[in-house]
Amino acid sequence: MKLVKLGAGAVNQTPLDWAGNRDRIVAAIAEARRQRVSILCLPELCITGYNCEDAFHAPGLQRTALDVLAEIAPHTGEMAVAVGLPLLFQKALYNTSCLLVDGRIAGFAAKRFLAGDGIYYEPRWFKPWRPGHRAQVDIDEVDYPLGDWIWDVGGVRIGFEVCEDAWVAARPGAQLALRGVDVILNPSASHFAFGKFAVRKRFVTEGSRAFGVAYVYANHLGCDAGRIIFDGGSLIADGGVLAAVGPRFLFHDQVVTAATIDIHANQMRQARTGSFQPTLEGEAEGRIELEIGYPELEPEPPAAPPAAWEDGADLQEEEFTRAEALALHDYMRKSRSNGFVISVSGGAD
């Protein structure tokens, strides 16, 4: 057995709240460390906040995000932690997730499929990363891997699907599976909508089954800005089974959901699958090897089931009440308002 504890962190961020966003990320890392998590996924664009809108194109935002990343890195000793931020490369801005390993930057994975419908406007600010493309990005005179890489961290191979990447037919996970990935991290910013949590659970569990991986999904929490409500609900699946389901609609700054996964059992499950045909040509190409030690762990019982209301007959009413309460609370405190005025007129208005 090779038991590794995986974690997904939901954080309640605010656009451009540099110190607050950093502190919540650091607190999530500390909580994950307390739970003996070795590989932690945090949401996309969690350093800046998801809804910075046209401010994403400000050079000051891009530079400050890198400065905050450098402040977070030392807190990741003996861990692998994914954090999201925008990154400028060759005159294009990319939505990336940076993998920090043992206190240092290991590289950046870039989002391939951008959300540009409904309430999302990502193509206004970002460019999609080209599948199969790998590059080196210069940050303060140091080159770091950027793009379609796999990170072999202490013998555990890690790849990325960033939010929308998992919602499309041509999911990157299919190619990651053929390249022998053990864990797929999905840093997301998925807004609340009725029935959407069930869809997320389906693509996470099916991704873990079809790709033969442990799948870690991390989402934002709270009212980031404007009209978007994030419900949290981090997910970890292995072999087509949910190993852990995080709580939703909590009034917390950060919540870490964790599960212990047997990486060797995961690998042997693929070895026994007759239809699995790995890509063997240039096997070492596009792979970065990093040393890290994993603590000795004991098998753990299944995680506690979700709250009773999640499976109740009044799920939609529960979701509405909890979403509105969290959104109004967050909007009031983040806008520094003192309350709300509610009209109770009985007229035609």
- Cα-based distances in Å from 179 to 98, 204, 208, 264: 20, 19, 15, 16
**Domain total for the chain?**
1
DSSP count for the chain of H helices, then E strands: 7, 17
Q: Which residues are catalytic?
A: 44, 111, 163
End-to-end CA distance of the chain: give it in Å, rounded: 66
Q: Say which range, 16-20, 67-71, 208-212, 332-336, has the weakest mean pLDDT.
A: 332-336
How large is the average pLDDT for residues 79-108? 98
Q: In what order do the strands lie in the sheet with 287-290?
A: 241-245, 235-238, 214-218, 183-187, 156-160, 150-153, 287-290
In a domain, residue 144? The reply is yes
In a domain, residue 200? The reply is yes
pLDDT at 281 over 60: no
Domain that holds residue 253: 3-290
- Cα-based distances in Å from 160 to 97, 155, 157, 231, 320: 8, 17, 11, 22, 31
In a domain, residue 118? The reply is yes
Can you give the CATH number for the domain in which 176 is found? Answer: 3.60.110.10
| Residue 181 three-state SS | coil
- Cα-based distances in Å from 234 to 41, 43, 215, 216, 237: 10, 10, 11, 8, 10
Q: Compute the distance between CA of residue 213 and CA of residue 193 in angstroms, rounded to an integer.
A: 27
Query: What is the per-residue pLDDT across 228-267, written as a single tens digit (0 to 9) for each?
Result: 999 999 999 999 999 999 999 999 999 999 999 999 988 8
In a domain, residue 90? The reply is yes
In a domain, residue 320? The reply is no
Query: What is the per-residue pLDDT across 136-188, written as a single tens digit (0 to 9) for each?
Result: 999 999 999 999 999 999 999 999 999 999 999 999 999 999 999 999 999 99
DSSP state of 45: T
pLDDT at 285 over 90: no
In a domain, residue 308? The reply is no
pTM exceeds 0.85 for this model? yes
In a domain, residue 46? The reply is yes
In a domain, residue 325? The reply is no
Angle between helices 59-72 and 18-34 (to 10 degrees): 30
